[in-house]
Homo-oligomer: A and B are copies of this chain.
Amino acid sequence: MQLTRAADYAVRVMIHLAGLPPGTRLPGSALAAATGVPDSFMSKVLQGLVRARLIWSRRGVDGGFELAAAPESTTLLEVVEAIQGPIQLNRCLGSGESCERQPGCVVHAVWAEAQSAMLAVLRGANLAGLARRAEAETFPE
C-alpha cells in the first residue's frame, strides 16, 4: 500500500529533467548528484524510465538521458506506473483479475472509487507544473 523507493526516486529524476532547458541530456552520475538518488538505485530507475519510453538514452561523449516528451504531457501517474506497474488498491481491481465474489460484492465499487480518486490526483500533476514549483521553492522571488 505504498510507493516503492524506486518509484519515488524516478519522480525526483523526472522532475529534475523537466526543469532543464528542452533537449538537455545528463549522464546518470549528474542525475544522481542532483537528486540524491543513491547510485545503487539509479541504474534500475533509469532502465525503468527508458523501458517505459519516458526518457531516451544516448551513448557516447555527449551521451546521457533526456526526457522523451514535453514535460507538460507526462503525469506523475505515468512515472510511478512506469516503475512499479499499474496501481491497484485491491487485487480485484486488476484488469485480468476475476473474483468469484465480484457479482454482488458491495465493496468492489468502494475500492474502485477510492482508487479512482487517488489516481485522478496523480494524473492531474504533470512534470512541467512540478518543475516550475520546484524552481520557485529553490529560487523564491
Q: State the A residues within 8 Å of B (CB).
A: 1-5, 8, 11-12, 15, 36, 76, 84, 87-91, 101, 104, 106-107, 110-111, 113-115, 117-122, 125, 130, 133-134, 137-138
Contact = CB atoms under 8 A, between A and B. Distances in A.
Number of copies: 2
Nearest to A130: B106
A15 B106 contact: yes
Nearest to A8: B90
Contacts of A101: 12, 36
A103 to B, nearest CB: 8
A81 to B, nearest CB: 10
A1 to B, nearest CB: 6
Contact of A11 (B12, B84, B87, B107): B107
A39 B78 CA distance: 39
15 contacts: A1-B89, A2-B89, A3-B90, A5-B91, A8-B90, A12-B101, A76-B107, A89-B118, A107-B125, A107-B130, A110-B121, A110-B122, A114-B122, A115-B118, A117-B117
A120 to B, nearest CB: 7
Contacts of A12: 101, 107
A138 B104 CA distance: 7
B130 A121 contact: no
Counting from the closest, the 6 A-B pairs by CB-CB distance are A114-B121, A117-B117, A118-B118, A104-B137, A106-B133, A3-B90
